[in-house]
Amino acid sequence: MIAAAFLLILQSAPVEAGVDAGAAPPPPASTCDAPVYMVVEGRTLDRTRMIAYGRAIAESRLYEQLGGYYVTVPRPLEVFEGEVAPDYVNLTVRFPCIENARAFWNSRAYREDILPIRQDPPAGDYTVTIYAEAPLREDMVGRVGDNRFTADFSGAEIEQVDEPVVGPEARGDSE
């Protein structure tokens, strides 16, 4: 089902990259309780390769294993201010915690099999950032769902690369 949803998203515009840092495998679900948002934004240069990239992410089932899911579709419904280029995308993926976002980004499957699909030459010019979820304002308590993760997405079985991306490489800085 997620694969089908992802393909529908891709039909509206190509998506996804993925950047953040980390090293350790994620902790047990009992300590993975601070949701984060991976925001992917930028220009798509090769739509066909980005569709293949998105399909590879869906087929890997990494999001299902780590509790990741799409919060937004990549193209705006409306633009209230400014201009949005036709090749610009902005996609948000929610994870149960930073450790799971890192486990996705540093998984062997992603780094060695999926990421190369959109590299050399780049299929997109993206930035990928991680944001903490804002606390719910007091006046909203009881008025909106709590969006809790109720399943264990420890991700301990996700094989990680030997040298996870950290420091300037994670931000795209060069030395």
Residue 66 lies in a domain: yes
Residue 101 lies in a domain: yes
pLDDT value at residue 143: 85
The structural domain count of the chain equals 1
Provide the pLDDT confidence category of residue 169 given band limits of 50, 70 and 90: low
pLDDT value at residue 33: 85
Average pLDDT over residues 39-54: 96
Domain that residue 100 falls in: 36-134
Strands (DSSP E) contained in 49-153 are 69-70, 88-95, 124-132
Residue 115 token pair: 């990421």
Residue 79 token pair: 């633009």
Provide the pLDDT confidence category of residue 170 given band limits of 50, 70 and 90: low
How many angstroms separate the CA atoms of 4 and 153, rounded?
A: 21
Residue 162 lies in a domain: no
pLDDT value at residue 152: 73
- Cα–Cα distances in Å, from 78 out to 15, 25, 75, 82, 156? 18, 39, 9, 11, 40
Residue 126 lies in a domain: yes
pLDDT value at residue 148: 72
**Environment class of 41 (CB within 10 Å of its CB; exposed 0-12, middle 13-18, buried 19+):** middle
> Is residue 32 within 8 Å of 116, Cβ to Cβ?
no
Q: Give the predicted TM-score (pTM) of the model.
A: 0.72
CATH of residue 73's domain is 3.30.70.100
Residue 78 one-letter amino acid: E
Provide the pLDDT confidence category of residue 153 given band limits of 50, 70 and 90: confident
Residue 18 confidence (pLDDT) above 90: no
Nearby residues of 69 by Cβ (< 8 Å), 6 or more positions away? 2, 63, 93, 94
**Environment class of 112 (CB within 10 Å of its CB; exposed 0-12, middle 13-18, buried 19+):** exposed
Residue 2: CB atoms within 10 Å = 14
> 70-102 burial string, b = 16+ CB within 10 Å, else e?
bebbbbeeeeeeeeeeeebbbbbbbbbbbbbbb
Q: What is the mean pLDDT of the chain?
A: 81
Residue 83 lies in a domain: yes
